[in-house]
Homo-oligomer: A and B are copies of this chain.
């Protein structure tokens, strides 16, 4: 069964924004999108509004829609929020993670360590974090964290590209600390390790302002 037209548009455009096909600032014309999906402009407008709600698209009345763009300070702010919210989320998730999920998380840490190309690294790293929250109940907290991930994804890529997708030893150590907290069902340690990981990432990122040009 095929999902509704707006859903298809939302899913596709979201993917293209996250994987970099659509760069921040790119214009989104309703008619073009409608033609592309063999639909009329109404479902497209619905889809654009949904994407706006996800923070991925900016709509300006009587003017048009563009892929969202973060300034340096906005990106910094997003990381500060992550630092506060993600630890809360992971601590709510850990007690509910199933053995199979923990197994997968363990594999992911190894795979990330052995990742050879940038897109692979980004995909695995994202999967690791999103899966680590899989035990948390759906709700505002999860929604907010996922939105932060989505809106900063482009800058994560830009930063990784700049530093030769610097999968430094530090990153691996941090991942292992987080994983250890998960495996040992020690929410407090996972929280601390995750917070430290995000904080270091934020500080490192703030030393590469050239991403935002």
Contact = CB atoms under 8 A, between A and B. Distances in A.
- This chain: how many copies in the complex? 2
Contacts of A50: 49, 53
A137 interface: yes
A119 to B, nearest CB: 26
Interface in A122-152: 137, 139-141, 144, 147-148, 151
Interface of A: 4, 7, 42, 45-46, 49-50, 52-53, 55, 61-62, 73-74, 77-78, 80-81, 84-85, 88, 137, 139-141, 144, 147-148, 151
Contacts of A78: 140
Contacts of A55: 140
Contacts of A151: 140
Given A4-B61, A73-B137, 17 more contacts: A7-B61, A46-B49, A49-B50, A49-B53, A53-B53, A74-B139, A77-B141, A80-B88, A81-B88, A81-B144, A84-B84, A84-B85, A84-B88, A85-B85, A140-B147, A140-B151, A144-B144
Given A4-B61, A42-B42, A61-B4, A81 B140 contact: yes
